[in-house]
């Protein structure tokens, strides 16, 4: 079942109607099923759940190098490590 109505016509039409890329995609889909039926999106719970998976998004903020430098300069443990001579 699909909530993408144009897909229902894909396996029924002649291959010469589609681009080579579309033919490859339809061939791939046909390996799994030959019967694609349209179900309206709000009525198709499985397709809706699969196409709208919630994802945890990691947001990276930019580094303010001036703030980083200031933090390093004021970090006593780091300053002790930097001032200690290693052999």
How does pLDDT run along the chain (87 residues), one tens digit per residue? 676 777 777 777 777 888 999 889 888 888 887 777 777 777 776 765 666 666 667 777 888 999 999 999 999 999 999 888 765
Residue 52 placed within a domain: no
What tokens does 33 get? 């099923």
Overall domain count for the chain: 1
Residue 78: closest CA among 57, 70, 1? 70
Residue 34 placed within a domain: yes
Residue 64 placed within a domain: no
Residue 72 placed within a domain: no
Residue 51 placed within a domain: no
Residue 14: closest CA among 5, 6, 23? 23
Residue 33 placed within a domain: yes
Residue 40 placed within a domain: yes
CB 60 within 8 A of CB 15: no
Q: The domain containing residue 13 runs over which residues? A: 7-44
Residue 66, Ramachandran bin (φ over 0: left; ψ between -120 and 50: alpha; else beta): alpha
Confidence (pTM): 0.41
């Amino acid at each position: 079942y699909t909530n993408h109505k144009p897909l229902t016509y894909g396996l029924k039409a002649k291959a010469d109607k589609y681009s080579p890329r579309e033919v490859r995609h339809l061939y791939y889909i046909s390996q799994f099923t030959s019967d694609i039926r349209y179900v309206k999106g709000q009525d198709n719970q499985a397709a809706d759940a699969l196409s709208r998976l919630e994802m945890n998004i990691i947001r990276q903020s930019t580094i303010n190098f001036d703030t980083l430098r200031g933090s390093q300069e004021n970090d006593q443990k780091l300053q002790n490590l930097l001032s200690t001579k290693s052999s």
